[in-house]
A and B are shown apart, each in its own frame.
Chain A
Amino acid sequence: MVTLTIDGKEVSVRPNATIFEAAKEAGVHIPVLCYAKKLLPYGACRICLVEVEQMKGRLIPSCTTPVTAGMVVNTISDEIRKVRKTVLEFLLVNHVVECPVCDKAGECDLQDLTYEYEVTTNRFKGAPFAHETDEVNPLIERNMNRCVLCGKCVRVCDEIVGYGSYSFIERGFDTKIATAFDRGLNCEFCGQCVSMCPVGAILPRPFKFKARPWQVKEVDSVCGYCGNGCTVTLGVLKDKVETVRFNDKTGVNDGNLCVRGRFGTSFVNSDARLSSPLVRKDGVLVETDWDEALDVVAKGLRKAQQAKGVGILAGARLTNEEFYLLKNLSGALGTGNLDHSGGQCYKGVTEGLDSVLGLRASTSTFPQVEQSDFILSVKADFYETHPVFGMVVNQAVRRNNAQLVVLGDKKAKFSKLPGARTLLSRPGLETNLLNALCFVLLDEDLARTEGIDNLEAFKAALASSTPEAVAALAGVDAQQIRISARELAAAKNAAILVPYGMPYLAAASELGTAAANLALLAGVVGTEGAGLYVCGEKANSQGAIDMGILPAAGALGAPQMLDALSQGNLSALLIAGEDVLSSYPDRETVEKALKSTGFLVVQDIFLSDTAKCADVVLPAASFAEKDGTFTNAERRIQRVRRAVPSPGAAKTDFEILCALCERLGRPVEQASDAAVFAEIVRSIKGYEGIALDQIGAQGVVWGGENLMPLKKNLVSVEGAQPLSAALSLITGSTLHHSGTLSTHAKGPLSVCPEPFVEISRQDAAELGVAEADLVSVQAEGVKLSLKAKVDIRLPKGVVFIPYHFSQLQLNRLYKGQAAVAVEIVK
């Protein structure tokens, strides 16, 4: 520790701290414009100048100057005030002052400083900036006439996002911040630049003129999209979510958000939301009241229960409390036919993990990844499914020089990070590659085998998974597999990332098993700082596993339920919060099952394709309209808070499930989220001893920061065989969408409005297809028409279609395979 004096106060701080950081710790305020906690020191604005006794004769920028022992710092004096005022005068020479119509007013650092330093006149004259504003994109408005050239947007886009949209262009007085060739913004639209801008130069366009910062009520909740579990602070005005506010004090995301979290909450206010229960009468869904709807549901389910039984399917975006009630409901209906998210998916991965480690969750927490020295990302889509966790990986690689290895069927954003190595394999062979990595660890005696069961049998089963054999099969370089395995073995804090979701159903449990084997052999599990991260795609994928939204022993899982429905062996189906018709693989089978269902009840916030088939549709509440908890992909339990009332008569799934339980003769004793959470704590393994009140700003990670394996049991798994086809179709996530929900949100839709098929440059050239050409992708008599996108991510012979858009009906082609042989016709 270094001890110094700031404004007469003695302060002890860590050796590498800057004067600014030391002052902050001592509770001394120094004004800044270009400083941000999460960015590297820059020293552009000169507002933070202070006096240092030992460095007399000039003022010292406190945000870039490291502390030294015995330093005596003055943060305010007449001289400092004068100089800061002059700096502000300089900034105000060109700054176009339009505070009355600037959305930043009220929380603008420049406005606040101008006020604090009483800059009423300006001794300097000059022409105000006259740059054109960027009006091209629908999400981020850039008005460079308000820019103070602090460079925060340039730095956040580079350091954290790793996209690099912005740069300083020109020189001297003409310097400005712009994109390449000074065009309109065309990027990921995560809006990190918006959150960093200290003035009104970069603003979120959807929130423009919606609410003054002091008018909104801020409600901290958890983003309802992916398993990252970012805190979103909703700005509420007159019972409407108008803005998403910057907040780096709460949650795990350090104020970082992606396009979905920042611009994707508008689905909450959508006119298409269901606001009244619907009951099918004479073949048509008609509006009714809750009493009638619930009576019909209760009667229908009772009847079905006495006939061939009821099945329950859920999406992975309900709260833990709602999942818990769903289990109650299944009890009331006397059925164990309970499942979620297609019944394979993330659940499969956790089953694989369970067989090896006795765990069904990530072993460590996200912040630990920043200190990792080796990161293996299994599947190329990690940044797409969990963008904000992806930013942590960016920082580990860019700032801390972690070696990153991406193992997937296409190149990813991660592939561009400095020094990243991509093992680009034929689709569906991740398990084979993980096996090969295990092989190298054992073959070269790099594995940590002490206390591990089943080693010999595992070795024997692995004999054919030599890097050379797998490399030949997968089309990668064997040497690269060997090098990666050696690096993994040598790493002190390695992280293995496995993102998983609906579009990757094939061999999920095999992949989970293979990843767990590797983690075990590499000593990644059970070591502080290292970890195996299995990341479910949806906001509460982990919660669904923890709460046990799984088929009871001997009961039917999701695919079996659909089969049983088709064959008339199941009488009714209740679906809560999932558009199974759009997101489950093999639409034909799902369609047949839903059509044959005697009684179908759907709880949802939109009239989805699935809801359109229902006998009763119950309008549910979005994440912004309910209280409860989500458990994110690192086991962090965080509180979801009600910010606005639901539209019309819509109720939360919690309320709906309570009402149903009551009507079915098993009322919930204390129907409050707190009471149900207490019930969860009593009965769910891992959640013991957690009090709802204790879940504060950073949430509570169940099981602690590092989860120890309950067993160490290697389980051998077979790899897959590659599909032999001229063109293999793979599906997955795009960055701008999450599940099908985001296709109801204006923000993500404005950036990625329609489905597309991504084709490699080589294939595009051979097929004579150019960007944005309309092509048809066909196989087995199914034909999908969509626009082409020519990219360098894909290897030749592989095409990619994201799975989010229900109107495309991609699941007519995609039936859960790792890849589908297709033809593309222009």
Chain B
Amino acid sequence: MSAAEEQNLEEEEVDLTGAHQVIDKYIDMKGALMPVLQGIQDFYGFVPEACVHLVAERLNVYSSQIYGVLTFYAQFHLKPRGRFIFRICMGTACHVKGAGRICDTITDRLGVGHAETTEDLLFTLEEVACLGACGMAPVVMVNNDTYGSATIQKIDEIIEKYRGQAAEQ
């Protein structure tokens, strides 16, 4: 581990109370690992490393195995994610209708690429296969809201909308 990484770990002090509560709930269940990890991700928005070691200790599962599970499933995230998740459809129809340019624009505006999160933890960008709304191509989703027939102009409006939402709170 580099010195910088170690530094990072020290800074990353996580309050484990939430993780303890999740584990308490499932501790007697056989095969508790998946629900525990899902619960922890629900609580923290991602699975912090300190929680992995805690789960290993309390469920008596190797940390390496937990890491294997976390990296196998796309549903788990090991880094903090943004409040708003941009999912850009890269399926065939969207691709033909210019999803590439939509994606480039968002990258340009937010300064993050696929599976990355902005420093202010507001936005995460994800390129996904097909969102199943080809008729509305190109499609972008932000959390549970869907935006069809996306254009570069619309993208700017969408980003502003969520920035506004964040500022209000």
Binding site for B on A (CB under 8 A): 136, 158, 163-171, 178-184, 416, 418, 792
Contacts and interface: CB of A to CB of B under 8 A. Distances in A.
Interface string B55-93: 011001011111110011000000000000000000000
B1 interface: yes
Q: How big is chain B's contact interface, by range?
A: 10 to 19
B49 interface: yes
A136 B6 CA distance: 14
B52 interface: yes
A132 B62 CA distance: 23
A165 B64 contact: yes
B72 A180 contact: no
B52 A180 contact: yes
Given A164-B63, A169-B68, 9 more contacts: A165-B62, A168-B72, A169-B72, A171-B71, A179-B64, A180-B52, A180-B63, A181-B49, A181-B52
B80 to A, nearest CB: 16
B65 A167 contact: yes
The winner among A163, A164, A170, A181 for most chain B CB atoms within 10 A is A181
A791 to B, nearest CB: 12
Given A171-B72, A181-B49, A164 B65 contact: yes
A164 B72 contact: no
A181 B67 contact: yes
Given A171-B72, A181-B49, A418 B60 contact: yes
B42 to A, nearest CB: 22
A183 B53 CA distance: 14
Task: Give the dominant DSSP class at B's interface.
Answer: helix
Nearest to B9: A181
Given A170-B72, A171-B71, A178 B60 contact: no
Interface of B: 1, 49, 52, 56-57, 60, 62-68, 71-72
B62 A164 contact: yes
23 contacts: A163-B62, A164-B62, A164-B64, A165-B64, A166-B64, A167-B67, A167-B68, A168-B72, A169-B72, A170-B71, A171-B72, A178-B67, A179-B67, A180-B52, A180-B63, A180-B64, A180-B66, A181-B49, A181-B52, A181-B67, A416-B60, A418-B60, A792-B57
A180 B62 contact: yes
B60 A168 contact: no
Contact of B67 (A180, A416, A792): A180
A255 B56 CA distance: 29
B60 A169 contact: no
Nearest to A184: B1
A167 B67 CA distance: 8
Contacts of B65: 164, 167
The 5 closest A-B pairs by CB, nearest first: A164-B62, A167-B68, A180-B63, A167-B64, A180-B67
B50 to A, nearest CB: 12
Contacts of A171: 71-72
A412 to B, nearest CB: 14
Nearest to B49: A181
Contacts of B63: 164, 180-181
A591 B65 CA distance: 51
Nearest to B62: A164
B1 A183 contact: yes
A190 B68 CA distance: 22
A158 B64 CA distance: 11
A636 to B, nearest CB: 33
The winner among B52, B62, B66 for most chain A CB atoms within 10 A is B62
Contacts of A169: 67-68, 71-72
A158 B63 CA distance: 12
B132 to A, nearest CB: 22
A181 B68 CA distance: 9
Nearest to B73: A171
The winner among B49, B52, B57, B60 for most chain A CB atoms within 10 A is B60
Nearest to B57: A792
Contacts of A179: 64, 67
Contacts of A165: 62, 64
A792 B52 CA distance: 16
The winner among B1, B49, B57 for most chain A CB atoms within 10 A is B1
Contacts of A792: 57
Contacts of B1: 136, 183-184
A186 B65 CA distance: 15
Contacts of A184: 1
B66 to A, nearest CB: 7
A178 B72 contact: no
A181 to B, nearest CB: 6
Nearest to B56: A180
